[in-house]
Each structure stands twice: as C-alpha cells, then as structure tokens.
Amino acid sequence: MEHHLILRVVTKLLASTIILFALYVQFHGDYSPGGGFQAGVIMAAAFILYGLIFGLDTVQRVFPPKFVHRLLAFGLLIYLVTGILSLLLGFNYLDYNAFDPQHPSHGQHLGILAVEFGVGVTVTGVMVAIYYAFAGRSPPVDDEDW
C-alpha cells in the first residue's frame, strides 16, 4: 500500500476532518439532530478509514486495543454515574432535573450532555473494537488451498 500516495495524503486530511465533525455532532446533538450514537459512529469511521489505508498495525499504534477497551468501559461508567448521581441527589434514575433543581432546563441540558458523551465514547469504542476483531482475524483457508 506504500505506492498509494494520494490515498494516504487524502486519508490524513479526511481523518482529522471526520473527527472534528464527530465532535460537532457530539456537542450539538442536544440542539440539533445527532448526539452520542451518531458522533460515536462518525468518530470510529475516522479510525477505521485510517486502518483501511495504513493497515491494522498502524491504526493500533495510534489507537491501541487496550485503550479501546478502556474507552468502552469508561463510556458505560459515565452513563452509570450520571444515573446514580441523580439517585443520590434524591431524584429518579437519570432524572436530569437533579443536576439543577432551581433551573430544571439547565439540569436537563447538563444531564443530556453527560449521557450523550458517555454514549458517544462507548459507541466509538465498540465500533473500533469490532473493526479490530474482524480485521485482525486470520483467514480460515489460505489462498493457495483453493
């Protein structure tokens, strides 16, 4: 793949642009269509594209599998802590009014941002982990065996 200079250059430009767009979707998801799930898939697409062009070993040096698995758990932890925090404040599980009882709309905003961030982090980790699992497996039959 070393001879595909144009693909390599365009991928480096596109990957950073895709990540920037994923962050936009993540943090504007409560104001417009989008949010954590969409941003997570878009973010993962940047790393998957990078892996398709530069190879699995290269993308795993940039985004190590151990970090991907920790990211997965961290996203779930954010979601869980948001819910437990609302319980500890005397409200229902994931009742965002708990985060600012005097101004419930502010509490809703903070709660949605936290949960959507957790979802985005988790979805990014899951999608990249799936890509690593499929891209890293060895074929059951060698080409010479056909």
Q: How many domains does the chain have?
A: 1
| Within a domain: 114 | yes
* Domain ranges, residue 14: 5-137
3-class SS of residue 22: helix
| Within a domain: 13 | yes
Quote the CA–CA distance of 120 and 85 in Å, as a whole number: 20
| Within a domain: 143 | no
| Within a domain: 85 | yes
| Within a domain: 109 | yes
| Within a domain: 132 | yes
| Within a domain: 146 | no
List the chain pLDDT tens, one digit each, 146 residues. 566 889 999 999 999 999 999 999 998 876 665 688 999 999 999 999 999 999 999 999 999 999 999 999 999 999 999 999 999 999 999 888 888 889 888 888 888 888 889 999 999 999 999 999 999 887 777 767 66
Q: List alpha helices for 28-64, DSSP H.
A: 36-54, 56-62
